[in-house]
Structure 1
Amino acid sequence: MKFYFSFFLCITMSILFAQTNNYEISFENAVHHETVVKGTFPELEIDTVTFRMSRSSPGRYALHEFAKNVYSFKATDSKGNILEVLRPDPYSWNVIGHDGTIKISYTLFANRGGGTYSQVDETHAHLNIPATFMYAPTLKDREIAVDFKIREDLGWKVATQLPLVSGTTYSAPNLYYFMDSPTEISNHSVREFQVDNHGKTQTIRFVLHHNGTEEELDSYFENVKKTVLAEKEVYGELPDFDYGTYTFLACYIPNASGDGMEHRNSTILTSTRSLANGGMEGNIGTVSHEFFHAWNVERIRPKSLEPFNFEETNMSGALWFAEGFTSYYTNLILCRAGIISTEKYVEGISGTFNYVWNSPARQFFNPIEMSYQAPFVDAATSVDPVNRENTFISYYSYGSVLGLALDLSLREEKLNLDDFMKLVWRQYGKTEKPYVIENLQQVLAEYAGNDFANTFFNKYIYKSEMPDYSALLNSVGVILKQDSEVPYFGAAVSLDGDGHGEIQSNPKIGTPAYDAGLDKGDVITDINGSGFPDGQQFSAYIEKLKVGDTLKITFERFGAEKKTTLLLKANPDYSLLLMEKEGDKPSKKQLRKRADWLKTLAP
């Protein structure tokens, strides 16, 4: 996902030249998740060379400290003499006293099969390059050759966006391209199709490592093709993929970790759901999301992520657009492609809408500032408690509902978001000119006028106001409905081992639980003198009560008994529903606008 490149594609026999960094990786001890990596770095002109493991990875914004899984590091010169190694920090190895060539070797433990880490076992070698290969920062502009020593006894084959040199050796023009090139080595299946792109053929390749059948893959691949072509329609063309090919690297296996991670000419797709066990429907959304990134974030790229920093976190205020608008299109594309129904698409927006609309976090941060939180939330880990329930809205979700609002608002002006995205693509994506947020506002002003652009950005991007979704949705025959009779407690409560109820999350500001002074970790022992409602879900118990009911609650906190009174409020959640499902008849104008929005046939 994460690199802006400006290079001429001239990789073939050039890897034979002396100033090429060569790697070899083997998997003899795959059963114990170990791989051995060797590297040769010739024609060195400085005495001390620093080798590093990355601390971050393309598509991620937080630190991941890949060095923690490296051991048995050794360095020699060209004659095999052991070289001195110093450790200035946890992720660097300084090698001293070489003869112009340094050879390194180390063992890597790898056992998480997703988009960020690597996994090696007897089913596959699933390699995220920054999590696997050391690099020398001073040699970042050199070409790279890597020989993947596959396990032929396991039927392994190599799949990657890297160009093949010969056998199992692949190349990269520089460190950045290498780091952005995940690789799947397994006994996988491949499907591909060609797409005409203004007279130039582009190949879309789908690689699947799974335990299912070829027939299941064939069926799934038809939906992949529909998704690709529907997204091409948004921008009017495919990107000009390097080497003419885009590769989906999918692992739908029990030992995977659910994830999706976009790269310049490929993407990682991982899931524990097999195609036969829900994956046919459940996994296709990740396909849609990640492929949309081939335009939005890979080539329509925030300047704040250029160049990508492998040694630190990568922060951007544009993730509401890069990730959020991509999220808006994820299911919209599936609806347009006929993979999900109009009803399912519209009703599916409800969860994201409620998460954003009902969050108290908007009083603290706008979408840009929410994007700044990525280094703390994007698969980051911490041991100290945080208050994300009240202070954070995912930039994926926030941007998604803003994308919906912008699309429907533009359609009120007889415009649409697709054409805006085309314009952004032509000015900043196709030219690979990184943008700043003000550039997006300028493009919107060019497309829809200064007043429209200034209103949208000043209210909803630079501030955290919310558009009039009821009116916008009504314009396409969708109702925003709220049930004022459903009672609301305001915190997740689950049974503990003693038949009491423990509050599982920080109550949100303004909810009944928050106003009553309840907090995460409190254990409810009694409600209105009847004990805790053991034997049923707490949410089902609350649903039987009424808005306005008073609950006298006894609870334990830090071993002490406390009491409070809680007043049930109306559930603030909304449902998005097609008008006709509620017995209302949308007008012909509403139906025409809906058909134009969802690319369906007008009545």
Structure 2
Amino acid sequence: MAQTHNVYEISFDNAVHHEATVKAHFTGLENKVLELRMSRTSPGRYALHEFAKNVYHVKATDSRGNNLQVTRPNPYQWDVSGHDGTVIVTYTLYGNRGDGTYTQVDETHAHLNIPATFMYAPRLALRPIKVTFNVREDLNWKVATQLKQLDKNTYYAPNLHYFMDSPTEISNYSIREFTEESNGKTYNIRFILHHKGSDADFDTYVDKVKNIVAQEKAVFGELPDYDFGTYTFLGCYLANVSGDGMEHRNSTILTDVEGLAEGGMENNIGTVSHEYFHAWNVERIRPLALEPFDYTSANMSGELWFAEGFTSYYTNLILCRAGVITREAYVEGLAGSLNYVWNSPALKYFNPIEMSYQAPFVDAARSVDPVNWTNTFVSYYSYGSVLGLALDLSLRNQKKNLTLDGYMQLMWKKFGKNEIPYTVKDLENTLTEYAGEDFASTFFTQYIYQSNMPDYKVLMNTAGVIFEKAKPSTPYLGAYVKSNDSKMKVVTNPHQQSPLYKAGVENGDYILSIGEHVLSDTTNISDILKEHEINSTVTVVYERGGERKETIMQMESDPAYKTTLIELQGKKLSKAQKETREDWLEAK
């Protein structure tokens, strides 16, 4: 604490117009130009975000109040020259998006993502930081953050990265706290919630959170050693925010427009499960490619299928183990990701590693030109999730008391607990150590280095789950079609080799008729398709650019799968299937 600190102060007098005033003090400087930047990235995100665009009215003075020259060598940087060893910078920040990436300031709250809020000095990244939040006492605002509290509204970070990784919610929030024991230590778990709901709903919600925390702790065998002994959920469920979740070292941001009484009790809890799991997997079991985190350009990691995808697999599995959702709901819900991944044409272009490389282009990135992601991209969240399912059931099928939980624990012990960054090869080597070389080599060769599909029919049957085509005798189109201008418009790129694709119909076309049926904005296309046999052909009339066109489309079977508990189809669950399912889905 005796070191020279970078000191920040932020005020919100003009919150009604989404503005904050920031003041930054940099002292003990060398007689050089001070380079100040706004970040282009944010911890937890993988794409570029140009936060500098919301900074204006920048001024700089020295210790005596003399104005200093400020120049702009690039869009993200301010160079301050002629100082006397001290630079005091002030600027206005505009922020009006409340989520896990950006900053929102209004009269409901100051929802601060630090990279979107504060300039930083790259050469001073190792200095500790003090920040004072001048709260709006007239609005009953309080500060919630993973930063260490020094006094009422002043907080501390040991270095720039911890500061950048510490989102802050300032509002008239509610709070619930509970403790969790691990390795002889007692940790404080806080849930901050900015909402308009009832205390009773909040209590019910936190009871679910407690069960989630306990079940995720059971996966790894212990809690992470949280800095300052506390983990903080920063929830904001209000109509003025945007739905999101973003993990950080000792906290997570949770935002959604749905309050607990408006569907959020059920719909928001999955984000809690996902983001808290990241306290182990990605925050501490961390890909080498994300270290050090780059605030000037995007890190590219080939491990996101594991870091995000396996976390996604555990998201609903934990909800099932915690009793938040039923086993039936969990099993039937598996079909969504399975259909999305294994029916995608994109698998012929990229394996899971290469899909992970696409993150800088898709992770809340902004672009205006059309892309062909329908045919070329599968989310590493979903891809990794269905691979996590396959690995879990495959391990359980080895009859050696092997589980994905056990593999995750070994990854935790080897890499997470001591925070040693890992590579894809480390993931394979650890699976070799856990399950044997033949098993690990086969899994990585077939499903990670290549894009083959595991035999889910066999794997799921071991747990008494039926995996089969949902509508094998029903035709499908291969693209989404919806009402537009009293006509039916194709609104996505057709899947390659799907019926519409082969017929030459494209995104943006209007389908006027299928066979003898003239379409209108009230037409149920599914009913029309059911009238036709698989492999039959039909004339499709469509409109493109105002021109009427005609083509022939061949009917093909809908490729969608469904996942069903075997007993719901009148079949008996065997003893072995029951034991596997219980060990898979029961609370730990």
Q: TM-score, normalising length from structure 1?
A: 0.96
**Could you say which residue in structure 2 is the equivalent of 1:568?**
555
1:116-195 alignment to 2 at 5 Å? 116-195=101-180
- Residues 301-324 of structure 1 deviation map (CA, whole Å, 9 limit, x = unaligned): 000000000000111000000000
Q: Could you tell me whether the CA contact under 8 Å between 1:488 and 1:547 is conserved in 2? A: no
Structure 1 residue 500 displacement after superposition: 2.2
Report the AA paired with residue 494 of structure 1.
K
Aligned length: 585
Q: Could you tell me whether the CA contact under 8 Å between 1:204 and 1:247 is conserved in 2? A: yes
**Could you say which residue in structure 2 is the equivalent of 1:455?**
442
1:355 aligns with 2:340: yes
Q: Structure 1's 112 and 336: CA in aligned 2 closer, same or farther, altered over 3 A?
A: same
Q: Could you tell me whether the CA contact under 8 Å between 1:248 and 1:266 is conserved in 2? A: yes
**Could you say which residue in structure 1 is the equivalent of 2:574?**
587
Report the AA paired with residue 551 of structure 2.
T
**Could you say which residue in structure 1 is the equivalent of 2:540?**
553
**Could you say which residue in structure 2 is the equivalent of 1:381?**
366
Q: TM-score, normalising length from structure 2?
A: 0.98
**Could you say which residue in structure 2 is the equivalent of 1:481?**
468
Q: Could you tell me whether the CA contact under 8 Å between 1:198 and 1:237 is conserved in 2? A: yes
**Could you say which residue in structure 2 is the equivalent of 1:41?**
26
**Could you say which residue in structure 1 is the equivalent of 2:455?**
468
Inter-partner Cα distance in structure 2 for 1:319 and 1:233: 23
Report the AA paired with residue 426 of structure 1.
K
Inter-partner Cα distance in structure 2 for 1:544 and 1:121: 55
Q: Structure 1's 275 and 416: CA in aligned 2 closer, same or farther, altered over 3 A?
A: same
Structure 1 residue 525 displacement after superposition: 2.1
**Could you say which residue in structure 1 is the equivalent of 2:504?**
517
Report the AA paired with residue 65 of structure 1.
E
Match of 1:166, SS? Answer: coil
Inter-partner Cα distance in structure 2 for 1:81 and 1:600: 65
Q: Could you tell me whether the CA contact under 8 Å between 2:201 and 2:261 is conserved in 1? A: yes
Match of 1:286, SS? Answer: helix
1:392 aligns with 2:377: yes
Q: Could you tell me whether the CA contact under 8 Å between 2:428 and 2:440 is conserved in 1? A: yes
Identity, in percent, stands at 60
Structure 1 residue 486 displacement after superposition: 1.6
Q: Structure 1's 540 and 122: CA in aligned 2 closer, same or farther, altered over 3 A?
A: farther
1:18-417 alignment to 2 at 5 Å? 19-413=4-398, 414=400, 415-417=402-404
Report the AA paired with residue 483 of structure 2.
L
Inter-partner Cα distance in structure 1 for 2:353 and 2:247: 22
Structure 1 residue 18 displacement after superposition: 6.2
Inter-partner Cα distance in structure 2 for 1:219 and 1:532: 48
Report the AA paired with residue 243 of structure 1.
F
Report the AA paired with residue 281 of structure 2.
N
Structure 1 residue 529 displacement after superposition: 4.7
**Could you say which residue in structure 1 is the equivalent of 2:409?**
422
Inter-partner Cα distance in structure 2 for 1:491 and 1:84: 57
Q: Could you tell me whether the CA contact under 8 Å between 2:31 and 2:83 is conserved in 1? A: no
Match of 1:257, SS? Answer: coil
Structure 1 residue 542 displacement after superposition: 3.0
1:431 aligns with 2:418: yes
- Residues 133-175 of structure 1 deviation map (CA, whole Å, 9 limit, x = unaligned): 0000011011100000000000100000000001200010000
CA RMSD between the two structures: 1.2
Match of 1:185, SS? Answer: strand
- Residues 7-32 of structure 1 deviation map (CA, whole Å, 9 limit, x = unaligned): xxxxxxx2xx4611100000001111
Q: Could you tell me whether the CA contact under 8 Å between 2:3 and 2:128 is conserved in 1? A: no
Inter-partner Cα distance in structure 1 for 2:4 and 2:583: 55
Inter-partner Cα distance in structure 1 for 2:351 and 2:581: 30
Inter-partner Cα distance in structure 2 for 1:199 and 1:338: 27
Inter-partner Cα distance in structure 2 for 1:55 and 1:277: 35
Report the AA paired with residue 434 of structure 1.
P
Match of 2:56, SS? Answer: strand
Inter-partner Cα distance in structure 2 for 1:486 and 1:584: 25
Match of 1:222, SS? Answer: helix
- Residues 28-73 of structure 1 deviation map (CA, whole Å, 9 limit, x = unaligned): 0111100011000001013201110000000111101000111101
Q: Structure 1's 88 and 319: CA in aligned 2 closer, same or farther, altered over 3 A?
A: same
Match of 1:23, SS? Answer: strand
Inter-partner Cα distance in structure 2 for 1:108 and 1:543: 56
Q: Could you tell me whether the CA contact under 8 Å between 2:143 and 2:168 is conserved in 1? A: yes
Inter-partner Cα distance in structure 2 for 1:386 and 1:593: 43
Report the AA paired with residue 479 of structure 1.
I
